[in-house]
Amino acid sequence: MYKQLLLIALILYKSLPVFAQQPERPNILIIMTDQQTADAMSSAGNKDLHTPAMDQLAANGVRFTRAYCAQPLCTPSRTSIFSGKMPFETGFIGNAPEKDGQWPDSLLMMGAIFKNGGYKTGYVGKWHLPVPAGKISQHGFDFIENTKFQDYNDAATPSYCARFIKENKDQPFLLVASFLNPHDICEWARGDALKMDVLAAAPPPAECPQLPANWAIPPNEPKIVREQQSSNIRTYPSVNWTGDQWRQYRWAYNRLVEKVDQYIEMVLASLKKYGVEKNTIIIFTADHGDGYAAHSWNQKQILYEESARVPFIISKPGGWKPRTDASLVCNGTDIIPTICGLTGVPAPTYLKGADISKRLNDPSIVLRDTLVIETDFADNEQLLGISGRAVITKHFKYIIYNKGAIREQLFNLDKDPGEMDNLAMKPQYKKQLQQMNRYLRAWCKKNGDVFGKEL
């Protein structure tokens, strides 16, 4: 009788569906700074500052050296990151107020995607999205703190993050830690009080960082980008600055990066304190970069590397070996597909971004060979009618604006990483220029980008 029951049980067992063993769903922590250019980390080889927390992330993961924002301006970039769509697709191409009724219900936000996927969701710090922070039903972040415009505080963000981690340490979570700095460089440049921290007076220029090799305004630059600086002298107080002033600017910027690095270190410490460090994957990035004195430019908006290229690290503390990756990445379109790929949370089918998690597992996978990013110059929330696109490949970068006597720039980034030699003006590069222009025309047509009509 016992053998018969055992045989029946064995038959029933074999008839059951077989499921692969599911690993524990990882937590996702997204750490985002504001206005941090990609090279403003000591792990990126910058010897003028020290960023141990960012370096720790790089030491336990993959640092992507060619990551770009979708648009180098706060609201458009953040809207892209939290929707997975390009700014021209969402319509948020300039800074916008936190106001209800602007965000289409058909466009899912990151928090809602993960909340629907069974994750606890939290957001702490700078918001600057065109959705009221209190409208949880739309953005999906159940825990949302320290977001009030002009009242958020980087110093408070680590403690709120610690509370969220403590309360949700026994279940999978998505947490965004959003910091303002080094954005305070805008206040420093115009001589205003800083929003987040206090800096000592800059030392004499001789004790400040050297000017970058591409400090000068390059020849054959589209004049329209300099002309728009006159729209608001408070945005661009650096017009006609001397080299000494720019050296002090770089000193102040570096100190602000170091300050935000200290707060990032506190957030990372909370992961360890509450025992979730080993099951958390961290993405570190910024909404956009900063001119950092290159091309005598402060602020963002322009499509040069310093403003458009951002830090991008995917890290697993104690779990991954360090490496760098030169794949073309767009943090605006790629973060949601990537964190969905890492967790198994279903991504909206309309998203076109790359799932970088595939390359983490198999470095032979090519994410893309060409990347297109955009800009629309604005004076705060007022658009100035100056639009541009950049087409970026492994070796070249093509920039075109919608107006001006000189509209195009072409750079060989291998030979001219500082973007000082505009090859668009040289007859021998006519074929390359036409090829990049044709690519952009086709891309705009395929993706419904009306900028194609300007080409």
What domains can you pick out in the chain, each with its CATH number? 27-368 (3.40.720.10), 372-454 (3.30.1120.10)
**Rounded mean pLDDT, 32-57:** 98
Q: What is the pLDDT of residue 231?
A: 87
Confirm if 237 and 249 have CB atoms less than 8 A apart: no
pLDDT band at 13 (very low <50, low <70, confident <90, very high): very low
Q: Using one digit for the tens of pLDDT, what is the confidence trace for 191-200?
A: 999 999 889 9
What pLDDT, on the 0 to 100 scale, is given for residue 197? 85
DSSP 449: -
Element (H, E) at 314: strand 312-315
The more confidently predicted of residues 358 and 13 is 358
Rounded-to-integer distance, Cα 277 and Cα 275, Å: 6
Q: What are phi and psi of 386, to 5 degrees?
A: -115, 110
In this predicted structure, what is the pLDDT of residue 22? 35
- Give the span between the Cα atoms of 416 and 347, in whole angstroms: 38
- Asked whether residue 258 carries a pLDDT value surpassing 50, the answer given is yes
pLDDT of 249 above 80: yes
Helix and strand numbers, DSSP H then E, in the chain: 14, 12
- For residue 36, give the nearest of 255, 231, 275, 247 by alpha carbon: 255
Element (H, E) at 269: helix 243-273
Q: Provide the pLDDT for residue 2.
A: 37
CA angle 155/159/162 to nearest 5° reads 145
Q: Is the pLDDT of residue 162 over 50?
A: yes
The mean pLDDT value for 125-131 works out to 96
CA pair distance 55, 173, nearest whole angstrom: 24
pLDDT, tens digit, 9 for 90 and up, residues 325-372 = 999 999 999 999 999 999 999 999 999 999 999 999 899 999 999 999
Note the pLDDT tens digit of each residue in 393-443.
999 999 999 999 999 999 999 999 999 999 999 999 999 999 999 999 999
The rounded mean pLDDT for the chain is: 93
> Across the strands, what pairs with 28?
174, 281
442's enclosing H/E stretch is helix 430-447
Q: Tell me the percentage of the chain whose pLDDT exceeds 90.
A: 90
Distance CA 50, CA 392 (A): 30
Q: How far apart are CA 434 and CA 53, in angstroms?
A: 44
Residue 25 has pLDDT above 50, yes or no: yes
- The mean pLDDT value for 289-311 works out to 98
Query: What gap in Å lies between CA 240 and CA 222, rounded to an integer?
Result: 18
In this prediction, residue 216 has a pLDDT band, given cuts at 50, 70 and 90, of: very high
Contacts of the segment 136-143: beta carbons below 8 A, 24+ positions apart = 138/103, 138/105, 138/109, 138/112, 139/82, 139/109, 139/110, 139/111, 139/112, 140/109, 140/110, 140/111, 140/112, 140/113, 140/114, 140/115, 140/116, 141/111, 141/115, 141/176, 142/111, 142/115, 143/167, 143/168
Whether 131 and 110 have beta carbons less than 8 Å apart is answered as no
Residue whose pair of structure tokens reads 């994957």 in the numeric block: 281
